[in-house]
Amino acid sequence: ETGVTQTPRHLVMGMTNKKSLKCEQHLGHNAMYWYKQSAKKPLELMFVYNFKEQTENNSVPSRFSPECPNSSHLFLHLHTLQPEDSALYLCASSRGQEAFFGQGTRLTVV
Amino acid sequence: DAKTTQPNSMESNEEEPVHLPCNHSTISGTDYIHWYRQLPSQGPEYVIHGLTSNVNNRMASLAIAEDRKSSTLILHRATLRDAAVYYCILRDRDSGAGSYQLTFGKGTKLSVIP
Protein backbone atom coordinates (compact mmCIF):
# COMPACT_ATOMS: atom_id res chain seq x y z
CA GLU A 1 0.00 0.00 0.00
CA THR A 2 1.70 3.16 -1.23
CA GLY A 3 -0.89 5.74 -0.20
CA VAL A 4 -1.81 6.46 -3.83
CA THR A 5 -5.20 5.01 -4.73
CA GLN A 6 -6.49 4.61 -8.25
CA THR A 7 -10.02 3.77 -9.32
CA PRO A 8 -11.26 1.82 -11.09
CA ARG A 9 -8.68 -0.96 -11.22
CA HIS A 10 -10.08 -2.27 -14.50
CA LEU A 11 -12.09 -0.50 -17.19
CA VAL A 12 -13.49 -1.63 -20.52
CA MET A 13 -14.87 1.08 -22.75
CA GLY A 14 -16.09 1.49 -26.27
CA MET A 15 -14.53 3.96 -28.66
CA THR A 16 -17.49 6.32 -28.37
CA ASN A 17 -17.67 6.26 -24.57
CA LYS A 18 -16.56 8.91 -22.11
CA LYS A 19 -14.99 7.74 -18.86
CA SER A 20 -12.73 9.10 -16.16
CA LEU A 21 -9.87 7.65 -14.15
CA LYS A 22 -9.39 8.86 -10.60
CA CYS A 23 -6.28 9.12 -8.46
CA GLU A 24 -6.15 10.16 -4.83
CA GLN A 25 -3.33 10.64 -2.34
CA HIS A 26 -3.32 12.01 1.19
CA LEU A 27 0.45 11.97 1.60
CA GLY A 28 0.77 15.75 1.46
CA HIS A 29 2.55 15.61 -1.88
CA ASN A 30 2.27 18.59 -4.19
CA ALA A 31 3.27 16.94 -7.46
CA MET A 32 1.14 14.37 -9.26
CA TYR A 33 1.66 12.49 -12.51
CA TRP A 34 -0.02 10.32 -15.09
CA TYR A 35 2.03 7.58 -16.78
CA LYS A 36 1.02 5.13 -19.49
CA GLN A 37 2.40 1.59 -19.73
CA SER A 38 1.60 -0.22 -22.96
CA ALA A 39 2.43 -3.86 -23.55
CA LYS A 40 6.10 -4.38 -24.44
CA LYS A 41 6.90 -0.65 -24.02
CA PRO A 42 8.51 1.31 -21.18
CA LEU A 43 6.42 3.55 -18.97
CA GLU A 44 5.75 6.89 -20.63
CA LEU A 45 5.16 10.11 -18.72
CA MET A 46 1.95 11.80 -19.90
CA PHE A 47 1.21 14.73 -17.61
CA VAL A 48 2.75 16.48 -14.61
CA TYR A 49 0.93 18.66 -12.12
CA ASN A 50 2.70 20.73 -9.50
CA PHE A 51 0.60 22.59 -6.92
CA LYS A 52 -2.49 21.93 -9.11
CA GLU A 53 -0.90 23.55 -12.17
CA GLN A 54 -0.04 21.48 -15.23
CA THR A 55 3.69 21.78 -15.84
CA GLU A 56 4.20 19.06 -18.44
CA ASN A 57 2.22 17.58 -21.31
CA ASN A 58 4.29 15.07 -23.25
CA SER A 59 2.51 15.54 -26.60
CA VAL A 60 -0.48 13.58 -25.40
CA PRO A 61 -3.49 13.49 -27.78
CA SER A 62 -6.42 15.68 -26.78
CA ARG A 63 -8.66 12.65 -26.29
CA PHE A 64 -6.87 12.41 -22.92
CA SER A 65 -7.80 15.35 -20.70
CA PRO A 66 -6.30 15.67 -17.21
CA GLU A 67 -7.81 17.57 -14.32
CA CYS A 68 -6.29 18.41 -10.95
CA PRO A 69 -8.88 20.12 -8.71
CA ASN A 70 -6.59 20.06 -5.66
CA SER A 71 -3.23 18.65 -4.61
CA SER A 72 -4.82 15.39 -3.42
CA HIS A 73 -6.82 14.44 -6.49
CA LEU A 74 -6.01 13.87 -10.13
CA PHE A 75 -8.33 12.78 -12.89
CA LEU A 76 -7.82 11.59 -16.44
CA HIS A 77 -10.88 12.13 -18.61
CA LEU A 78 -11.11 9.85 -21.62
CA HIS A 79 -13.20 10.27 -24.75
CA THR A 80 -13.26 8.75 -28.24
CA LEU A 81 -10.30 6.52 -27.48
CA GLN A 82 -8.73 4.09 -29.93
CA PRO A 83 -7.93 0.41 -29.36
CA GLU A 84 -4.20 1.29 -29.28
CA ASP A 85 -4.91 3.37 -26.16
CA SER A 86 -5.45 0.14 -24.25
CA ALA A 87 -2.80 0.11 -21.54
CA LEU A 88 -2.08 0.33 -17.83
CA TYR A 89 -2.50 3.93 -16.65
CA LEU A 90 -0.50 4.75 -13.56
CA CYS A 91 -0.79 7.71 -11.25
CA ALA A 92 2.06 8.84 -9.04
CA SER A 93 2.79 11.54 -6.50
CA SER A 94 6.09 12.77 -5.17
CA ARG A 95 7.94 14.79 -2.62
CA GLY A 96 11.68 15.00 -2.53
CA GLN A 97 13.58 12.17 -4.20
CA GLU A 98 10.90 9.50 -4.18
CA ALA A 99 7.77 8.86 -6.20
CA PHE A 100 4.84 6.79 -5.01
CA PHE A 101 2.79 4.96 -7.60
CA GLY A 102 -0.74 3.66 -7.50
CA GLN A 103 -1.57 0.17 -8.68
CA GLY A 104 -2.90 1.48 -11.95
CA THR A 105 -6.06 1.21 -14.02
CA ARG A 106 -6.01 -1.49 -16.67
CA LEU A 107 -7.89 0.08 -19.59
CA THR A 108 -9.21 -1.89 -22.54
CA VAL A 109 -10.74 -0.01 -25.47
CA VAL A 110 -13.03 -2.12 -27.64
CA ASP B 1 17.90 12.57 -19.15
CA ALA B 2 21.02 10.51 -19.71
CA LYS B 3 20.55 6.94 -20.91
CA THR B 4 21.08 3.78 -18.90
CA THR B 5 21.80 0.25 -20.12
CA GLN B 6 20.64 -2.82 -18.22
CA PRO B 7 20.52 -6.52 -19.08
CA ASN B 8 17.09 -7.61 -20.25
CA SER B 9 16.83 -10.43 -17.72
CA MET B 10 18.62 -12.15 -14.86
CA GLU B 11 18.02 -15.19 -12.70
CA SER B 12 18.85 -15.78 -9.09
CA ASN B 13 18.39 -18.60 -6.64
CA GLU B 14 16.28 -17.91 -3.60
CA GLU B 15 18.19 -16.74 -0.53
CA GLU B 16 21.29 -15.87 -2.55
CA PRO B 17 22.59 -12.33 -3.19
CA VAL B 18 21.72 -10.64 -6.48
CA HIS B 19 23.80 -8.01 -8.23
CA LEU B 20 21.88 -6.02 -10.84
CA PRO B 21 24.19 -3.93 -13.06
CA CYS B 22 23.49 -0.63 -14.76
CA ASN B 23 25.74 1.26 -17.15
CA HIS B 24 25.39 5.01 -17.51
CA SER B 25 28.52 6.19 -19.25
CA THR B 26 27.07 9.61 -20.17
CA ILE B 27 26.04 10.49 -16.63
CA SER B 28 26.48 14.15 -15.70
CA GLY B 29 27.73 15.53 -12.42
CA THR B 30 24.22 16.49 -11.28
CA ASP B 31 22.50 13.18 -12.13
CA TYR B 32 21.20 11.10 -9.28
CA ILE B 33 20.97 7.32 -9.81
CA HIS B 34 17.55 5.97 -8.88
CA TRP B 35 16.30 2.41 -8.77
CA TYR B 36 12.67 1.38 -8.90
CA ARG B 37 11.11 -2.02 -9.24
CA GLN B 38 7.76 -3.16 -10.57
CA LEU B 39 6.21 -6.35 -9.27
CA PRO B 40 3.70 -8.12 -11.50
CA SER B 41 0.36 -6.30 -11.76
CA GLN B 42 1.55 -3.38 -9.63
CA GLY B 43 2.91 0.11 -10.08
CA PRO B 44 6.61 0.83 -9.73
CA GLU B 45 8.06 1.00 -6.24
CA TYR B 46 11.00 3.09 -5.06
CA VAL B 47 14.02 1.04 -4.04
CA ILE B 48 16.99 3.34 -3.49
CA HIS B 49 18.90 6.30 -4.90
CA GLY B 50 22.36 7.80 -4.65
CA LEU B 51 24.72 10.38 -6.09
CA THR B 52 28.34 9.41 -5.42
CA SER B 53 28.63 7.33 -2.27
CA ASN B 54 27.34 3.81 -1.76
CA VAL B 55 23.94 3.71 -0.08
CA ASN B 56 22.15 1.16 2.07
CA ASN B 57 18.54 0.88 3.14
CA ARG B 58 16.24 -1.85 4.37
CA MET B 59 15.49 -3.06 0.85
CA ALA B 60 18.86 -3.01 -0.89
CA SER B 61 22.32 -1.53 -1.31
CA LEU B 62 23.53 0.67 -4.14
CA ALA B 63 27.16 0.48 -5.14
CA ILE B 64 28.33 3.34 -7.37
CA ALA B 65 31.56 3.12 -9.34
CA GLU B 66 34.19 5.72 -8.57
CA ASP B 67 33.83 7.28 -12.03
CA ARG B 68 30.00 7.03 -11.68
CA LYS B 69 29.70 5.44 -15.14
CA SER B 70 28.09 2.35 -13.67
CA SER B 71 26.25 1.19 -10.59
CA THR B 72 25.02 -2.04 -9.07
CA LEU B 73 21.87 -2.70 -7.10
CA ILE B 74 22.49 -5.41 -4.54
CA LEU B 75 19.72 -7.49 -3.02
CA HIS B 76 21.44 -9.26 -0.15
CA ARG B 77 19.17 -12.27 0.00
CA ALA B 78 16.69 -12.75 -2.83
CA THR B 79 13.21 -13.93 -1.98
CA LEU B 80 10.38 -14.95 -4.29
CA ARG B 81 8.81 -11.56 -3.57
CA ASP B 82 11.80 -9.87 -5.20
CA ALA B 83 10.86 -11.21 -8.64
CA ALA B 84 10.16 -8.01 -10.57
CA VAL B 85 11.39 -5.67 -13.28
CA TYR B 86 14.14 -3.43 -11.90
CA TYR B 87 14.66 -0.01 -13.44
CA CYS B 88 17.83 2.06 -13.20
CA ILE B 89 17.01 5.72 -13.87
CA LEU B 90 19.10 8.87 -13.97
CA ARG B 91 17.48 12.04 -12.79
CA ASP B 92 19.07 15.46 -12.96
CA ARG B 93 19.11 17.04 -9.52
CA ASP B 94 18.19 20.37 -11.06
CA SER B 95 15.39 19.22 -13.37
CA GLY B 96 11.68 19.83 -12.93
CA ALA B 97 11.73 22.22 -10.00
CA GLY B 98 9.13 21.06 -7.51
CA SER B 99 8.33 17.89 -9.43
CA TYR B 100 10.09 14.61 -9.96
CA GLN B 101 9.87 13.27 -13.47
CA LEU B 102 11.20 9.83 -14.25
CA THR B 103 12.19 8.44 -17.64
CA PHE B 104 11.86 4.67 -17.57
CA GLY B 105 13.72 2.25 -19.81
CA LYS B 106 12.98 -1.44 -20.27
CA GLY B 107 14.68 -2.50 -17.05
CA THR B 108 15.93 -5.93 -15.97
CA LYS B 109 13.44 -8.69 -15.35
CA LEU B 110 14.64 -10.62 -12.32
CA SER B 111 13.45 -14.19 -11.87
CA VAL B 112 13.97 -15.88 -8.51
CA ILE B 113 14.23 -19.65 -8.52
CA PRO B 114 12.99 -21.49 -5.43
Q: Is there a contact between B44 and A101 if contact means CB atoms under 8 Å apart?
A: yes
- Render pLDDT for B33-78 as a digit per residue (tens, 0 to 9): 999 999 998 999 999 999 999 999 999 999 999 999 999 999 999 9
Handedness of CA B40, B44, B48, B49 (dihedral sign): positive
Residue of B nearest to A46 (CA): B101
Q: Is there a contact between B99 and A104 if contact means CB atoms under 8 Å apart?
A: no
- Render pLDDT for B66-114 as a digit per residue (tens, 0 to 9): 999 999 999 999 999 999 999 999 988 766 556 788 899 999 999 999 9
> How many angstroms separate the CA of residue B86 from the nearest CA in chain A?
12
pLDDT above 60 (res B1): no
B32 exposed, middle or buried (CB, 10 Å; 0-12, 13-18, 19+)? middle
Nearest-CB residue to B43 (from A44, A90, A96):
A90
Q: Is there a contact between A48 and B45 if contact means CB atoms under 8 Å apart?
A: no
Q: Is there a contact between B43 and A4 if contact means CB atoms under 8 Å apart?
A: yes
Handedness of CA A96, A48, B41, B10 (dihedral sign): negative
- Render pLDDT for A44-81 as a digit per residue (tens, 0 to 9): 999 999 888 888 888 999 999 999 999 899 999 999 99
* DSSP states along B37-106: EE-TTS--EEEEEESSS-EE-SS-EEEE-TTSSEEEEEESS--GGG-EEEEEEEEETTSSTT--------
Pairing of strands A4-7, A53-57: unpaired
